[in-house]
């Protein structure tokens, strides 16, 4: 057939059409957002005005190893660590004055501490002070407010003690001759806080590796076919919609498109998770990043680099990682009150020790107040929820579960009612010929051949099912003349001089065809959820064709498992009642609503929600979109329409209901992980603040050093990060 022939002229036509669709490369500024406060959006890098954290690009890129914030923090940390080690060594000299320090004057040691600690505090700790000032200006006190107060207090006190020691009472003199300095505390606290920042940034970077691995599936080049038929390799970024590409055996498909010529088997497992290669022929859709088999084919590009299915998956998951789960509101509310509480607690600690503590009271008061400020930094509290959400959504993406927002993760665990559409959700959504009955005058293949030769001129889904069956059996089609279709009833035409009629029972009876001979078989097929097509030659009924939308292989298993979890099942479909009940009977679903309009589906969900149910809706069509949006959790089949996918909170790439089971298990694990993180953060602060304030001093005679407090503060963040990373081990 000439329509299957690919020529330079054909290519030229496509190329000319594509010229009109070429878009210039976008110059839109990169948007940045806060990993903990996604509502904060900036057109460039900066810091979050709420928490002080560095903003990061919203879009995921393959830029390896270039994280300006991480690189900067690493430089500052190593500089602070080296200089702080020397400051600590010198401070030991001022205290012990022996061995290697015997020949060094106290003046030299104290001023050396000042010289070495100043770049640590001013340069290495500079971001902490900048973010603290911003927090005060915007009235959003955060962890950097506390860090700056603690480090700044220790440093400024030490500077005053060094330059103007006469201002201090004699009770502040230690080791018999000098006012105590705390340059080593200021330096080491800065270094430890920077270490915490580095570890946090590295952990955040690690959470995006799964998404970057998806982007790496995209090839860098494509085989471009010119208007004259000549071919050459070019960068993917140069390809535009409408361009013609050749995909050779063993190559990755460069962009989303449609096959124009050739056939092959394509491994789509990296996107869908299905291990069985998919047949691709003329008209088949192909997905960027999937692996071509032994065949070669030509394809027309339908999506540019940033708009491919794979790119949209990555961006969807990336956006989801920055959304807030309802459970995070508790952490946010707590943090908003916590920082002012800590500042007050530090002031009370200082006053109490200064008025009632042992000598040197000023020293004790200062040390304990700084320790309170440092140990209570709420960084672990702020990381508790976002880290778990980021890991959970990344894990889901690897398993073909795309989560649009964090709320969907939290809500899915609470769902007790699931409403499922039939077509495309429980079934394949593609009608197939499953039964053929004929009289003794004609064979099954011959009846199918006549029907397909007529229906090839029709675009009706049932007609196309008949054609596909004939093509699969390699039945040669016959020449058709005088084709006529009657909407909603059937079609007729002339084939080899014979009048062929294909359609429903009423259509044939209206044209004086007796259908009684096959009514018994037809009734039996209807009970099996099959649609009956009657076929007549020269007004004599020759047979019937049963067409059904087969159940997905996984539907029964998934429904049974969900029922075992205590989830109540409903089927709500726009299909006929007989078909709907037949399918529901096969799956053991008792509650069925057939002939439902989009409004009906919406009202059913509202009614269930009003009765206290937590409702999830699974669907795939445009008609399901309102219900998906109304449900507590909308679950779209990745094989369905864009409208359904955009309306849902969760998308199952494979269109397999077993993905709901995996998603629910993921939801449970993520929420459990968040609760563990919040517990770690809360218990750490509940215990840490009183200890830092010195409540154990009367019993043990020891105080918590600000340096130890800084180490404990960093350790709390690390423990939360480590716990969140454990989600990678979860088996779905």
Residues taking part in catalysis: 421
CA distance 347 to 349: 5
Which residue's structure tokens are 């099959």? 530
Question: Length of the chain in residues, anyone?
Answer: 732
Q: What Rg value do the Cα atoms of the chain yield, rounded? A: 35
List of long-range contacts for 680-684, beta carbons under 8 Å, 24+ apart: 680/380, 680/384, 680/716, 680/719, 680/720, 680/723, 681/331, 681/378, 681/380, 681/381, 681/383, 681/384, 681/716, 681/720, 682/334, 682/381, 684/380, 684/712, 684/716, 684/719
Q: For residue 137, give both structure tokens.
A: 């200006």
CA distance 541 to 464: 21
Q: Do 584 and 571 touch, CB atoms closer than 8 A? A: yes
CB neighbours of 375 closer than 8 A, spacing ≥ 6?
A: 685, 688, 689, 691, 692, 704, 709, 710, 712, 713
CA distance 63 to 588: 51
Residue 731 main-chain phi, psi, to 5 deg = -100, 120
Residue 74 main-chain phi, psi, to 5 deg = -65, -45
Within 487-615, where are the H helices?
505-510, 519-527, 555-564, 577-587, 598-610
DSSP string, 683-695: HHHHHHHHHHHTT
CA 530 to mean position of chain CA atoms:
39
Nearest 10 degrees: CA dihedral of 456, 457, 462, 466? Answer: -10
């Amino acid at each position: 057939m000439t329509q299957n022939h690919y020529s330079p002229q054909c290519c030229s036509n496509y190329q000319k059409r594509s010229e009109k669709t070429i878009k210039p490369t976008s110059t839109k500024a990169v948007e940045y957002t806060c990993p903990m406060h996604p509502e904060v959006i900036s057109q460039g890098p900066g810091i979050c005005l709420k928490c002080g954290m560095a903003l990061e690009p919203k879009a995921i890129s393959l830029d390896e190893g270039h994280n300006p914030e991480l690189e900067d923090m690493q430089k500052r940390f190593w500089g602070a660590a080296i200089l702080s080690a020397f400051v600590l060594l010198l401070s030991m000299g001022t205290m012990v004055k022996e061995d290697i320090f015997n020949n060094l004057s106290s003046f030299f040691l104290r001023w050396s501490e000042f010289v070495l600690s100043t770049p640590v505090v001013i340069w290495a700790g500079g971001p902490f002070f900048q973010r603290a000032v911003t927090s005060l200006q915007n009235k959003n006190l955060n962890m950097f407010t506390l860090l700056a107060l603690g480090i700044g207090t220790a440093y400024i006190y030490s500077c005053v003690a060094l330059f103007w020691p006469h201002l201090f009472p004699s009770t502040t003199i230690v080791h018999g001759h000098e006012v105590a300095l705390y340059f080593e505390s200021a330096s080491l606290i800065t270094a430890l806080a920077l270490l915490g920042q580095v570890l946090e940034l590295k952990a955040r970077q690690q959470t995006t590796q799964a998404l970057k691995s998806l982007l790496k599936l995209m090839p860098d080049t494509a085989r471009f076919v010119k208007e004259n038929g000549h071919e050459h390799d070019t960068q993917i970024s140069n390809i535009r919609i409408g361009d013609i590409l050749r995909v050779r055996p063993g190559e990755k498909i460069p962009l989303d498109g449609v096959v124009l010529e050739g056939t092959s088997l394509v491994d789509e497992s990296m996107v869908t998770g299905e291990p069985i290669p998919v047949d691709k022929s003329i008209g088949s859709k192909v997905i960027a990043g999937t692996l071509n088999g032994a065949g070669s084919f030509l394809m027309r590009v339908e999506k540019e680099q940033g708009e491919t299915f794979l790119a949209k998956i990555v961006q969807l998951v990336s956006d989801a990682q920055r959304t807030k789960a309802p459970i995070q509101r508790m952490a946010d509310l707590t943090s908003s009150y916590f920082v002012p509480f800590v500042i007050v607690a530090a002031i009370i600690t200082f006053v109490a020790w200064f008025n009632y503590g042992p000598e040197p009271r000023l020293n004790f008061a200062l040390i304990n107040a700084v320790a309170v400020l440092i140990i209570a930094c709420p960084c672990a509290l702020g990381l508790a929820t976002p880290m778990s959400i980021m890991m959970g959504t990344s894990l889901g993406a690897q398993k073909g579960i795309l989560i649009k927002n964090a709320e969907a993760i939290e809500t899915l665990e609470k769902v007790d009612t699931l409403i499922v559409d039939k077509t495309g959700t429980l079934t394949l959504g593609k009608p197939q010929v499953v039964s053929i009955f004929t009289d003794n005058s004609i064979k099954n293949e011959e009846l199918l051949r006549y029907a397909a030769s007529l229906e090839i001129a029709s675009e009706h889904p049932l007609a196309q099912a008949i054609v596909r069956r004939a093509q699969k059996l390699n039945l040669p089609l016959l020449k058709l003349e005088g084709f006529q279709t009657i909407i909603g009833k059937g079609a007729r035409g002339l084939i080899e001089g014979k009048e062929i009629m294909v359609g429903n029972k009423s259509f044939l009876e209206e044209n004086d065809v007796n259908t009684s001979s096959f009514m018994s078989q037809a009734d039996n097929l209807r009970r099996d959820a099959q649609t009956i097509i009657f076929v007549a030659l020269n007004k004599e009924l020759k047979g019937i064709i049963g067409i059904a939308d087969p159940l997905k292989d996984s539907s029964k298993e998934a429904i049974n498992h969900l029922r075992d979890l205590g989830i109540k099942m409903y089927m709500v479909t726009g299909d006929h009642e007989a078909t709907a009940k037949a399918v529901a009977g096969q799956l053991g679903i008792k509650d069925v609503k057939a002939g439902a309009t989009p409004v009906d589906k919406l009202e059913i969900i509202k009614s269930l929600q009003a009765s206290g149910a937590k409702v999830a809706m699974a669907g795939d069509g445009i008609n399901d979109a309102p219900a998906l949006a109304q449900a507590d959790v909308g679950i779209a089949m990745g094989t369905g329409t864009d409208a359904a996918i955009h309306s849902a909170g969760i998308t199952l790439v494979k269109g397999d209901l077993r993905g709901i089971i995996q998603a629910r298990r993921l939801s449970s694990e993520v929420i459990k992980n968040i609760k563990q993180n919040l517990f770690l953060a809360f218990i750490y602060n509940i215990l840490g603040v009183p200890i830092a304030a010195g409540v154990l001093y009367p019993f043990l005679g020891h105080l918590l050093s600000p340096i130890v407090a800084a180490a404990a503060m960093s350790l709390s963040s690390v423990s939360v990060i480590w716990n969140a990373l454990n989600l990678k081990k979860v088996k779905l």
